[in-house]
Amino acid sequence: MSVFQQRHDQLPQQTHDEFAREEFCGSLRKMFTTELWPANREIYTKERLPSFVSEKGRAPQTFPEVRDWMEDSFYFRSTNAVGRAAQELLWDTVGESVERQLDTLIEKSKPRKGDLGTIRVNPDLKMPRYIEAVDIHVMPGNFQTDLSSDDVFAGALYDRGVYVFAFGGLGKTNADLGLATALFTQEKFPNLKPKRILDMGCGPGFTTLPWKDIYPDAEVYGIDIGAPQVRYGHGRAEALGKAIHYSQQDAAHTDFPDGYFDIVSSLLVTHEMPGPHIKAIYKECNRLLAPGGITLHDGGLAYPSDPFDILMNSWFGMHANEPFSNAYKTMDHDQAMIDAGFAKDKIFHGQREAVYLKGQLPPVHFVGAIKA
């Protein structure tokens, strides 16, 4: 893991021992992701597939068939256990470090006179059931739990946690995918001069700040269902010198006026929610866009047809509390966009390589639409 997450004043700091423990978590995750889990392919081809064929006289045809057959492999079960343990260890380790300095982080995040951006939270916001029922990524308390009235725990946990989780694989500020999204938009729509941009499900702002870098004259807004995300995000944006307007809102029902934005985007958000909520968000995007504006979301990747490839693709869905991710991958996003009010001939798909980590990260795939 690269030790060089870009420092900013809002970021949790590590003692020597915390740092060493986090390095271990990152290395364990890396070993699981790049070596242990992919080696299941060899177990399948050399052992499990031949035994299935010899017993049934045919190859497995469905994902559950492959999964159940693989469950008899000690190696498969062991790698699942290591992956799950690494996932839990990561949040426990980073969480302890964040807890130790939580009061300081809360103080730093508070809005001040002269701030570049703004922050609004809504204590009355109704949480959708899927948010309260599942700790996504096995992250204790999920993205939205408030430990106190000014809490930033979940935002700070996510900032440092994602860096360790991805062993630095999203760049020094975890922003590489967000930057790829903003650049994709600029390259595909060179005549678009956005006045206002909205990042839905912004988390701590990894996907929000790059919009300001690419479109410095635009007003940039970030919304998240979790108050600790936007509170922390505000402190982080101020520490990094970016003017961002954060608010706590459900992306499916925001309080912005009709036609307020020229770009409405989300990244790494919709795969974590059930289909009806994704559809409601696409509808809200249509309402929020000015004519000629665009919406785009990660997605649109062709789902593998081979049942073993589906299994390889489904680790997070099976073991790291992403229960909606498989349904999201097979959902008809084009139809959902049409149902949301976008014209069929205004829907687009595309992809963009990461910027700093080009070649090391898979390209981001987008599904989007232009408002007529």
Ligand X SMILES: C[S@@+](CC[C@H](N)C(=O)[O-])C[C@H]1O[C@@H](n2cnc3c(N)ncnc32)[C@H](O)[C@@H]1O
Contacting positions for ligand X (CB under 6 A): 128, 131, 143-144, 200-203, 206-207, 223-226, 229, 250-252, 267-269, 272-273
- Closest to ligand X by CB, 70 vs 119, is 119
Strands 118-120 and 196-200 turn out to be: unpaired
- Closest to ligand X by CB, 219 vs 272, is 272
- Closest to ligand X by CB, 276 vs 292, is 276
- Closest to ligand X by CB, 70 vs 280, is 280
Burial classification of residue 210, based on how many CB atoms lie within 10 Å of its CB (0-12 exposed, 13-18 middle, 19 or more buried): buried
- Closest to ligand X by CB, 66 vs 198, is 198
Secondary structure (DSSP) of 46-98: IIIHHHHHHHHSS---SHHHHHHHHTT-HHHHHHHHHHHHHHHHHHHHHHHHH
Q: How far apart are CA 103 and CA 93, in angstroms?
A: 18
CB 73 within 8 A of CB 47: yes
- Closest to ligand X by CB, 25 vs 200, is 200
CB of 314 to ligand X, least distance (A): 17
> How far does Cα 17 stand from its chain's mean position?
28
CB of 199 to ligand X, least distance (A): 7
CB of 118 to ligand X, least distance (A): 17
CB of 285 to ligand X, least distance (A): 12
- Closest to ligand X by CB, 60 vs 228, is 228
CB of 284 to ligand X, least distance (A): 9
Q: For the chain, what is the radius of gyration of the CA atoms?
A: 21
Please name the residue that has the structure tokens 């289909």: 275
Q: How far apart are CA 87 and CA 12, in angstroms?
A: 20
Burial classification of residue 65, based on how many CB atoms lie within 10 Å of its CB (0-12 exposed, 13-18 middle, 19 or more buried): middle
Residues in the chain: 372
CB of 274 to ligand X, least distance (A): 10
CB of 251 to ligand X, least distance (A): 4
- Closest to ligand X by CB, 196 vs 279, is 279
CB of 167 to ligand X, least distance (A): 16
Question: How far is CA 372 from each of CA 230, 284, 300, 319, 342, rounded to the nearest angstrom?
Answer: 31, 15, 21, 41, 8
Please name the residue that has the structure tokens 């106190």: 148
Q: How far apart are CA 178 and CA 199, in angstroms?
A: 10
